[in-house]
Amino acid sequence: MAFCRFYDGSHCSLQDSEVLGDKKTSGFCWKGDDHAVAIFPEDGTLKLVIDSSKWDLLSEKVDVDYFHDYKTALTTFRVYGDGSEFEVSYPSWWRGREDVEVDEMAASREEENAEEDIFGYVCMLKENRAAADNLYALWARNAAS
């Protein structure tokens, strides 16, 4: 089970979207059964923390791999660089869902990774600098106010 959490720049607190309302957030964190993930602005970039490891997500020295094994319905996520590495394999977000028809060649499914899977979201931020820069600007502005 995963919980979305409000990140105020220093710690996470459990919030649902109705309670969160229009609070200004300065980051995002997620707590699953086995891992915790936080993304927030720091030192002019987006930082990624998974459990106790931390990366500069936008650094050229940090890489992210994210892929599905469609036969086994398992997803693998890996982040590495700057002396740290994290890798995890887990059931794909679409596994067992009758409302999703998975086709290895369907590019539209890949767009849903960022909406359905926190590690897909991390991958999207790494690959989409404009989205990452916009998020950084918003969170940094909120942290300063």
Averaged confidence pLDDT in the chain:
80
Q: How many domains does the chain have?
A: 1
Residue 34, in any domain of the structure:
yes
Residue 57, in any domain of the structure:
yes
Residue 118, in any domain of the structure:
yes
Residue 144, in any domain of the structure:
no
pLDDT in tens, 88-108: 999 998 888 888 777 666 544
Give me the amino acid identity at 13.
S
The end-to-end CA distance of the chain, in Å, is 33
pTM strictly above 0.85: no
Residue 95, in any domain of the structure:
yes
Beta bridge partners of 85: 80
pLDDT for the residue 124: 93
125 against 141, higher pLDDT? 125
118-129 burial string, b = 16+ CB within 10 Å, else e? bbbbbbbbbeee
- Mean of pLDDT values over 100-122: 76
Percent of the chain predicted with pLDDT > 90: 42
Domain that holds residue 104: 3-139
Residue 59, in any domain of the structure:
yes
pLDDT for the residue 16: 45
Mean pLDDT comparison of 4-13, 73-82, 109-118, highest-scoring range = 73-82
Residue 145, in any domain of the structure:
no
Cα angle vertex 29, ends 28, 32, to 5°? 150
82 against 63, higher pLDDT? 63
